[in-house]
Amino acid sequence: MLLTVKCRYDATRMIRSETVKQILEHYRVVWALSHAQGLMGWDSETYMPEEGIKGRAVARAEIAQLIQRFMLDEKFVKLVEKAEEERDLTEVERGVVRVLRRDLRFYQRVPPEVVKEFAKVTSEAFVAWRGAKEKAKFELFAPYLEKIVELSRVIADKLGYEEHPYDALLDLYEEGLTSRDVEAVFSVLEPGVKRLLARLESAGWPKRHPLEEVPYERSRVEAAIMEVLELVGYPKGRFRVDVSPHPFTIGITTPFDVRITVRYRGVDFKEPLFSALHEYGHALYELNIDESLAMTPVGTGVSLGVHESQSRFMENVVGRSREFVGKAAPILRRHLDFLSKYSDDDLFYYFNVVRPSLIRTEADEVTYNLHILLRYRLERLLITGEVKVRQLPELWNEEMDRLLGVRPRNDAEGVLQDVHWSHGSIGYFPTYTLGNVVAAMIYFKHGRVRELVAEGNFAALKDYLRERIHRWGSVYPPKELLVKSFGEAYNAEYLISYLEQKYRG
């Protein structure tokens, strides 16, 4: 079993095949170009002046096309094909070949002009989305989204699928995931969450807390967040925190340079606090991948669903627990004077307010997955053409009303709230729910999470996650990794059990 391996993972020792060694030599150029793309993407969302997009969009499109050209180099393709035929490959070598075969499948089937156009449109779309959101006017973003949806349909058709075109897009973010898998998860979560919401309503679980309305000084919250990150053990030399309109994590050179962002609205300090813990969970995954896998095709997280499990585990299972409140409260009170009159119990209920809300990133653990269900259903309809882009605002509002009983007052609160579609990430959203499911699985499979948090033993938790998930990068497909580590994959019953246990009243 994977779990019994105790020695340090050494990919250089594990690469025995001369063919795979040649593959990795060629791939180093692809990695370097991707490194440049990552830096440009991070800069676009943090420090780049708005007018800079005119050149940035062209540069990123050219690099995207250059990556495709390197990947489709005849010599490289033949090396991958040769390696596929070798029978005595190590697990690492098989992982390298599997990941590259998936990449080659994309580049061989999706024409270069589509790759270039997609990179250009999404670079421009981010700036258009940001402006549209500021003005709460979907029509400013709609033309870009129409192009993105059209290109996504082309990509799905080129990649191929067995049952539904959306499955081809799901697979880009979560290897092997299909609409059937997603439907199976939501068939458990939708009724389970609604039952729990009804019970919490009758039990009088807090829907609001006074601290949600308290303004804060950004510099003080920033200082508190950095000290909380020190509490959980972030590595200062390989990690930085910046500000962006939508919090994100990026591994520039995993595991040596990983960056996160948060945002500050000036009120309700739990929002930036838990954004930081969420993104730290993502960053921790990349930071704990074995260094010997760096700059190889398997030197990053295996999928967005598994990745999201790490961020949701750190944000919710750890960060919103009573035990974590006990550890973090002294830090928060030291930096935020207004907390002096609030007890640890007050903070726990403030961190765990449950109510239907408009904004996904601010949603509580109980209602969060209903936000994802909405996006999943709309995306599938967009890809089949059953729903047109211009219909999205009204359909979004109607579905929010049906699922959560709330209705956005404007497009910024509704269809424009997420950055993902501007990035072209159609098929991404279901991985958030998969992350919640796996985070709950980790909680039950470990069995002592709350005890370790109460002890402040975050090192032991990180060691567990490193051994079970992080260190292996993309060596194994996501479902195989989860089965090896936990005995099963994507069992939504664990999430319902976790929520019912925590919110029993």
User: Distance between CA 196 and CA 209 in Å, rounded?
Assistant: 20
- Are the C-beta atoms of 390 and 145 separated by less than 8 Å? no
User: Distance between CA 345 and CA 8 in Å, rounded?
Assistant: 42
Place of tokens 């690492």: 92
Closest of 273, 264, 302 to residue 438, by C-alpha: 302
User: Distance between CA 117 and CA 138 in Å, rounded?
Assistant: 22
Sheet holding 249-253, edge to edge: 239-243, 257-262, 249-253
- Are the C-beta atoms of 380 and 166 separated by less than 8 Å? yes
- Which residues, including other chains, have CB under 8 Å from residue 230's CB and lie 6 or more apart? none
- Which residues, including other chains, have CB under 8 Å from residue 362's CB and lie 6 or more apart? 271
CB-CB neighbours of 267 under 10 Å = 12
Phi then psi dihedrals of residue 265, to 5 deg = -100, -10
- Which residues, including other chains, have CB under 8 Å from residue 214's CB and lie 6 or more apart? 267, 268, 269, 338
Q: Does residue 249 sit in helix, strand or coil?
A: strand
Question: Has 213 been annotated as catalytic?
Answer: no
Closest of 189, 292, 208, 272 to residue 499, by C-alpha: 189
Asked if residue 308 belongs to a known ligand binding site, the reply is yes
Catalytic residue among 45, 93, 222, 279: 279
DSSP state of 8: P
Closest of 418, 379, 374, 387 to residue 132, by C-alpha: 418
Alpha carbon separation from 49 to 46, 52, 53, 105, 288 (Å, rounded): 9, 5, 8, 36, 33
User: Distance between CA 278 and CA 200 in Å, rounded?
Assistant: 25
Q: Is residue 337 exposed (0-12), middle (13-18) or buried (19+ Cβ within 10 Å)?
A: exposed
Q: Does residue 67 sit in helix, strand or coil?
A: helix
Tokens of 167: 């499955």
- Which residues, including other chains, have CB under 8 Å from residue 103's CB and lie 6 or more apart? 71, 297
H or E segment to which residue 239 belongs: strand 239-243
- Are the C-beta atoms of 284 and 465 separated by less than 8 Å? yes
Tokens of 323: 């035990």
Q: Does residue 448 sit in helix, strand or coil?
A: coil
Asked if residue 213 belongs to a known ligand binding site, the reply is no
User: Distance between CA 88 and CA 17 in Å, rounded?
Assistant: 9
Asked if residue 164 belongs to a known ligand binding site, the reply is no
Task: State the binding site.
Answer: 278, 282, 308
| Residues annotated catalytic, as ranges | 279
Task: State the binding site for Zn(2+).
Answer: 278, 282, 308
